Chains A and B, each alone.
Chain A
Amino acid sequence: MPEQAQNANLRLALQFALRELRGGLRGFYIFLGCIALGVAAIGGVNSVAQSITNGIASEGQAILGGDLSFSLAQREITAEQIAFLKSQGEVTKLITMRGMARLPDGSDQTLVEIKAIDEVYPHYGSFDLSDNRSNSLKDNEVAAEPLLLERLGLKPGDRLEIGSSIFNLVAEIEREPDKVGDNIGFGPRLMMSLDGLAKTGLIQPGSLLRYHYKVKVDDPTQARIAAVSASAKEAFPDSGWRIRSRENAAPALTRSVERFSQFLTLVGLTSLIVGGVGVANATRAFLETKRPVIASLKSLGASGSFIFKLYMVQILIMAALGITLGLILAVMMPYGARYALSDLLPVSDGAQFFPAALAPGILYGVLTTLIFSIWPLAVSQETKPTELFRASTYGENRGRPKRVYVLALLFCVATLITSAIYFSDNRFISLVFVGATIFAFVMLKLVAVAIQFLAKNAPSVRSTPLKMAIANIHRPGALTASVTLSLGLGLALLVALATIDGNLRSQIENNLPEDAPDFFFVDIQNDEIEPFRSKLLEIAPQGKIISVPMLRGRVVSLKGIPSEDYKTVSGGEWVLQGDRGITYAKRIPENSTLSQGEWWPEGYSGPPLVSVSAEEAGELGLDIGDDITINVLGRNITAKIQSFREVQWETLGINFVFVFSPNTFAGAPHAHLATLTTNDAKNGNSDGTLLKELARTFPAVTAVRIRDALETVNGLISQLSNAIRAAASVALLSSVLVLAGALAAGNRERVHDAVVLKTLGATRGTLMRMLVLEYGLLGFSTAIFAILAGSLAAWFVISIIMNFTFVIQPTIALTTVATALLFTIVLGLLGTWQILGQKAAPILREL
């Protein structure tokens, strides 16, 4: 067809479509709901993520605490370096470290994240204390987050012991401008002055502390900041400092937000695909009502392709409406997030409309609509005008869709899959997700066929309601396929996510290995290690103590390639980011076994050697004999890989990615890390006594109770899983919408059956039992599928991807069955309930 004629044809299709749509939205509510929910979930998640990313970017100076930040582990920068920084602008110096905050009577203590500040702090943003003063902490004063006051039962004005000094707790911290830029802490924040920290005695050679120098550049233009950063690198190439600029104030947070939003986008996409079933059902039902119109139009000279265009235009107009509704919800989400997350994350204050973040929602919304409507449209355009004369007297005469429509459908499916994978950072996870969804779809179709087969071949039963219910499951036009498909996918996703969540929690809460330590102790000085061990043995004679030397180091290069340019094979980037704990050892450390290469001989004194965790070595693509350069205490040390070790990280014992030969760090100042494993302490009764005793002798040693640390992690997982559940709930909501639509579509037949059966003498009770059994059997079978498919997906994630032991979650299974039964029976009965009580005659006349 010439282009001009095609355009005229399309214009006419649009004109006819607008006329047809005068009938209103009837029959399209489920369609609209499904598209709107999916688009809202995807667009909303991306908008919130964008809002947070923008927040980080716009508040970059405050989050970083300056225009540029230079930080170093365990040592200060040189006088020459400080002079350089001061020549670029005003400099504030901070020290961060972990420590113990104790009540002066020693009765209670807790881990705190210490931040010592100078009088210049902060360069940007405001540091607010509850007594309405900002930075004016004297060297005997501290301020703390409310959580610390809550944990130790303190109030402003009370006294607190840190290290070997007593401080006045003068106020609660209300606002710490650069908190988001710091890593997640295991304890509440405690702020003090640099002089105050010096008095605690916590600053010792090898102590795990970090020095930060934040520069407020005199001329804070982007170009100037970049120039200062470049000249700092050039002037001090071996400084070992980590430089961050305000443009990249919280890289880890930004990365996490992006990754998490990508994951939630996939969950949102699932809800859209679940909703796609509703789109298909609604399209099919809509086109079914349009068969006489289609036949009329064809009898008046309309071609099949014109019919396709005419109804595709209407479906796309509906999709546009659904997408618009979804986008309105999505645009509102960052505003909600600002209130919900403002204490935790920097959500942007400005305009919250992010077109780029909404684009995936629009794209996926359109593609889902096309994928689920092309087939019914292609079938409908084959409607024969002869139907106007006789209604399929000679059997179904609908024809098969033409090849061009099948190809168009396949193209849309391929585009959706490609986009989902392309837009994701972790393409493997996306691929698995897409694969699982397609697999679930195919399986659900097979499950529906299997249920119908079983129902058809079920042995005869005596109960009439059950007999009729079984018959309803396998008869032509039964609800089986639409119910399993609509509810199955949403439930399976929910089961998968809930099972993964449950497994992670039980991994943390219940599956603590028998030999997992109860305490970690850090910052034990070299000369303290033996007395410390003796003291520990004295307090906990049955306890098992392991101690290792510990230093902090930053990977500078691998195989001669700078770490910032190094391309990893599959993950493992975290090893190259920031400082890593490193150690040296004469023998193979506990909780690890040699998997490749050899251990260095006792008394080895040759060039530095290193043993690397086999898993991370694989991810980084390292081989025996490769060189690793690491910056420790400002000195670059290059070691050759001598062996790989299989490390049992899950024991929670002391483990390191890099273990060096002892001669590597000969003479370097360092502290020790120790663990204590004692069954007494596991019940928590003697924890207090133990810590109290230790604190008296070793006030500078920081103790981390493993259960407290796990609680922190658990809290984080809770927050994440709440967000995941919220996204998954959208999928379930879509499922329920689709289910309601599918049940409503089958309602007419149910009403017909019910009325005919009533005329034949069936009581309301019999009818009710029949319907409950039918809906119940369908709901139950779907739930069984959802449990199996969801658990399989969860097993894959837990066992294969995360390498944890998979535990079946019976509560989730039971909840799933109950949910499925509730939804199918309640929604199913809602449509037929009123009919049961009515007289048959008026309805029979209408049927």
Chain B
Amino acid sequence: MLTQSPKQAIKLENLQLTLGQDASRVHVLKGIDLDIDAGTSTGIVGPSGSGKSTLLMVIAGLERIDEGKITIANVDITNLGEDELAAFRGKNVGIVFQSFHLIPNMTALENVAVPLELTGTPNALEIAEDELKAVGLGERLNHYPGQLSGGEQQRVALARALAPSPAVLIADEPTGNLDGETGKQVTNLLFERQREKGLTLVLVTHDLALARRCDRTIPVRSGKIETTDA
């Protein structure tokens, strides 16, 4: 199943996707081709409705495409089933959301342990604790999301995404719900951890300053990539 060079973490070929039904039918992705090297950071930018978030979902294996081929971490995920995709995601893709999406009735530690427990990792809680300490939340292990600030919640979300040591980390507007200063701290942490772990980072953002910190910026407009290099 090896279809990309060892350097490539993500390879997208002629992605086509149409969403909605009848009158609300929208051709969201119109023939996207993209190669992303392992260990690099890529920022996807574009106006609202351009298809950038959908592109991110496709990379994460959350959205199925109508046509084309997706290869992530050397695995062709195009035709994987729903549960196979979930299992693949659990091991290979970490996701950070704009709205954090932590599980409210679980502590920070338990939230971080979830992806590890789902893959049957034996020492899930110890790994989760290490990850939380690495994002500076060693003192907040047993706090519930409701007891944490927005910045802290996003750091927990980052720790959760990184805990299974995925090959690819994707982030959807990771600072969108944070104030400027907190956003900056989370961004620093994101890039810091990405470099430390040698991950492939793909993020979607409206924030051009954030996008500029990436190794590469991909502008998307009307479901197409305008140019492959910033």
Residues of A within 8 A of B (CB): 5, 8, 12, 15-16, 19-23, 292-293, 295-306, 384-386, 388-390, 393-395
- A385 touches which one: B62, B105, B117 (CB < 8 A)? B62
Q: In the bound complex, do residue A19 and residue B105 qualify as a contact, i.e. CB atoms below 8 Å apart?
A: yes
Q: Does B19 contact A (CB under 8 A)?
A: yes
Question: Do A296 and B118 contact each other (CB < 8 Å), given the known contacts A301-B86, A303-B86?
Answer: no
Q: In the bound complex, do residue A300 and residue B114 qualify as a contact, i.e. CB atoms below 8 Å apart?
A: yes
Q: In the bound complex, do residue B24 and residue A395 qualify as a contact, i.e. CB atoms below 8 Å apart?
A: yes
Q: List 13 A-B contacts (CB under 8 A).
A: A12-B118, A296-B102, A299-B95, A300-B90, A301-B88, A301-B90, A301-B164, A385-B62, A386-B57, A389-B56, A393-B20, A394-B19, A395-B24
Q: A411 to nearest B CB, angstroms?
A: 23
Q: A561 to nearest B CB, angstroms?
A: 64
Q: How far is the CA of A734 from the CA of B177 in the complex (A)?
A: 44
- Which residues of chain B in 172-193 are interfacial with respect to chain A, using CB atoms and an 8 Å cutoff? 172
Question: Do A389 and B172 contact each other (CB < 8 Å), given the known contacts A22-B105, A293-B104, A394-B19?
Answer: yes
List A contacts of B103 (CB < 8 A): 19-20, 293, 296-297
Q: A26 to nearest B CB, angstroms?
A: 11
Q: How far is the CA of A300 from the CA of B112 in the complex (A)?
A: 10
Q: In the bound complex, do residue A21 and residue B105 qualify as a contact, i.e. CB atoms below 8 Å apart?
A: yes
List 18 extra interface pairs beyond A8-B120, A301-B164, A302-B90, CB under 8 A: A15-B117, A16-B114, A16-B117, A19-B105, A20-B103, A21-B105, A293-B104, A297-B114, A300-B118, A301-B87, A301-B119, A386-B62, A388-B99, A389-B54, A389-B56, A394-B20, A394-B21, A394-B26
Q: In the bound complex, do residue A303 and residue B115 qualify as a contact, i.e. CB atoms below 8 Å apart?
A: no
Closest to A21 in B: B105
Q: In the bound complex, do residue B89 and residue A301 qualify as a contact, i.e. CB atoms below 8 Å apart?
A: yes
Interface string of B17-28 (1 = CB under 8 A from A): 001110010100
Q: In the bound complex, do residue B62 and residue A384 qualify as a contact, i.e. CB atoms below 8 Å apart?
A: yes
Q: A825 to nearest B CB, angstroms?
A: 36
Question: Which 9 pairs show the lowest CB-CB distances between chains A and B?
Answer: A301-B90, A394-B20, A303-B83, A300-B115, A394-B19, A296-B101, A22-B105, A23-B105, A301-B118
Q: Does B217 contact A (CB under 8 A)?
A: no
List B contacts of A299 (CB < 8 A): 60, 62, 89, 95, 101
Closest to B58 in A: A386
Q: B180 to nearest A CB, angstroms?
A: 23
Q: A724 to nearest B CB, angstroms?
A: 44
List A contacts of B172 (CB < 8 A): 389
List B contacts of A301 (CB < 8 A): 86-91, 115, 118-119, 164
Q: A292 to nearest B CB, angstroms?
A: 6
Question: Do A305 and B83 contact each other (CB < 8 Å), given the known contacts A385-B62, A394-B24?
Answer: yes
Q: In the bound complex, do residue A23 and residue B104 qualify as a contact, i.e. CB atoms below 8 Å apart?
A: yes
Q: Does B110 contact A (CB under 8 A)?
A: yes
List B contacts of A386 (CB < 8 A): 57, 62-63
List A contacts of B115 (CB < 8 A): 300-301
List A contacts of B86 (CB < 8 A): 298, 301-304
List A contacts of B63 (CB < 8 A): 386
List A contacts of B88 (CB < 8 A): 301
Q: In the bound complex, do residue A19 and residue B101 qualify as a contact, i.e. CB atoms below 8 Å apart?
A: no
List A contacts of B215 (CB < 8 A): none
- A395 touches which one: B20, B101, B106 (CB < 8 A)? B20
Q: How far is the CA of A296 from the CA of B160 in the complex (A)?
A: 11
Q: How far is the CA of A394 from the CA of B102 in the complex (A)?
A: 25
Q: Does B53 contact A (CB under 8 A)?
A: yes
Q: In the bound complex, do residue B83 and residue A19 qualify as a contact, i.e. CB atoms below 8 Å apart?
A: no
Q: Does B207 contact A (CB under 8 A)?
A: no
A21, A298, A300 pick with most chain B CB within 10 angstroms: A300
Q: B28 to nearest A CB, angstroms?
A: 9
- B53 touches which one: A302, A303, A390 (CB < 8 A)? A390
Q: How far is the CA of A296 from the CA of B105 in the complex (A)?
A: 13
List B contacts of A15 (CB < 8 A): 117
List A contacts of B105 (CB < 8 A): 19-23
Q: How far is the CA of A253 from the CA of B95 in the complex (A)?
A: 70
Q: In the bound complex, do residue A300 and residue B160 qualify as a contact, i.e. CB atoms below 8 Å apart?
A: yes
Closest to A295 in B: B101
- Which residues of chain B in 14-55 are interfacial with respect to chain A, using CB atoms and an 8 Å cutoff? 19-21, 24, 26, 53-54
Q: How far is the CA of A15 from the CA of B110 in the complex (A)?
A: 11
Q: A363 to nearest B CB, angstroms?
A: 31
Q: How far is the CA of A298 from the CA of B86 in the complex (A)?
A: 6
Q: In the bound complex, do residue A389 and residue B89 qualify as a contact, i.e. CB atoms below 8 Å apart?
A: no
Q: Does B82 contact A (CB under 8 A)?
A: yes
List B contacts of A12 (CB < 8 A): 117-118
Q: How far is the CA of A267 from the CA of B82 in the complex (A)?
A: 44
Q: How far is the CA of A708 from the CA of B104 in the complex (A)?
A: 70
- B57 touches which one: A20, A300, A389, A394 (CB < 8 A)? A389
List A contacts of B90 (CB < 8 A): 300-302
Closest to B84 in A: A303
List A contacts of B57 (CB < 8 A): 386, 389
List B contacts of A306 (CB < 8 A): 118
Q: How far is the CA of A12 from the CA of B90 in the complex (A)?
A: 15
- Which residues of chain B in 77-130 are interfacial with respect to chain A, using CB atoms and an 8 Å cutoff? 82-83, 86-91, 95, 97, 99, 101-106, 110, 114-115, 117-120
Q: A631 to nearest B CB, angstroms?
A: 75
Closest to A389 in B: B53
Q: B57 to nearest A CB, angstroms?
A: 5
Q: B117 to nearest A CB, angstroms?
A: 6
List B contacts of A292 (CB < 8 A): 101
Closest to B163 in A: A300
